[in-house]
């Protein structure tokens, strides 16, 4: 009934329309939805480092390797010396550690592939959040369960604002494995359940006072600061600010 040329045109046209529809769907779903932006990004690293082994099984605290994160605006990448503190004796001849040994001998840092990154026009201060006893898991997910680290949260503006507006629902309080100072010594029995987890802000809602008058979205609450090495832990906790200049300046 139809010519061969017409039949081929229908097939090619259908394939093109289907491909265009698929592209539009994927761009719309992954490009617009905050919940999926870059989640799952997992680049290859120069050294096969397992957080599941080091943090999960060996219980090495996050701040042992990422030293200074409580005082630095950026989370420091571990130095080769930090790795060699253990690996001069542990698996010292492993072929998987050749890049680490070469870096140690040459003095050239390892070029790790960055995973978590906010846009250049956004300012995110790690120390501000760490000193408020916000655990690494809040943003980076269960790192201690990851053999290969991937981006766990979208790190979008909407995601940040959700946390600033509802911190008691979204923040994971400081845990011993992160090394974030919690302001109290934990008995062994406390570590067997979740009672040791510091739940910031929840008890302070309703007791907050605006930092400015008129109020622009930033509050303070009265929590006595504890000082460790001159750093207050925690800083004044409060509902996160929503004004533009907090992150864009």
The reported pLDDT for the residue numbered 202 is: 39
State the chain's mean pLDDT as an integer. Answer: 78
The answer to whether the CB of 103 falls within 8 A of the CB of 80 is yes
Q: Looking at mean pLDDT, say which of 5-9, 188-192, 231-235 comes out highest.
A: 5-9
pTM over 0.85: no
The reported pLDDT for the residue numbered 222 is: 55
Residue bearing tokens 């680290």: 149
DSSP state, 197? S
Compute the distance between CA of residue 138 and CA of residue 70 in angstroms, rounded to an integer: 15
Query: Is 65 exposed, middle or buried, given 0-12, 13-18 or 19+ CB atoms closer than 10 A?
Result: buried
């Amino acid at each position: 009934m139809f010519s061969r040329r017409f039949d081929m045109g229908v097939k090619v046209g259908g394939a093109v329309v289907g491909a265009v529809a698929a592209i539009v769907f994927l761009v719309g779903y992954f490009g617009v939805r905050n919940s999926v932006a870059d989640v799952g990004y997992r680049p290859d690293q120069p050294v096969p480092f397992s957080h599941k082994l080091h943090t999960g099984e060996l219980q090495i605290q996050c701040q042992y390797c990422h030293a200074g994160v409580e005082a630095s605006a950026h989370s420091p990448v571990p130095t080769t010396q930090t790795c060699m503190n253990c690996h001069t004796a542990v698996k010292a001849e492993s072929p998987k550690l050749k890049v680490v040994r070469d870096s140690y001998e040459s003095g050239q840092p390892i070029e790790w592939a960055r995973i978590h990154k906010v846009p250049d026009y956004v300012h995110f201060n790690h120390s501000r959040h760490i000193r408020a006893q916000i655990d690494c898991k809040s943003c980076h997910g269960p790192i201690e369960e990851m053999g290969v680290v991937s981006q766990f949260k979208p790190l979008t503006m909407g995601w940040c604002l959700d946390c600033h507006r509802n911190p008691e629902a979204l923040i994971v309080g400081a845990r011993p494995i992160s090394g974030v100072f919690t302001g109290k010594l934990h008995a062994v029995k406390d570590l067997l359940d979740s009672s040791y987890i510091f739940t910031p802000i929840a008890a302070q809602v309703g007791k907050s006072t605006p930092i400015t008058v008129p109020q622009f979205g930033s509050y303070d609450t009265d929590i006595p600061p504890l000082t460790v090495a001159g750093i207050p832990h925690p800083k004044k906790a409060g509902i996160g600010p929503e004004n533009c200049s907090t992150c864009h300046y």
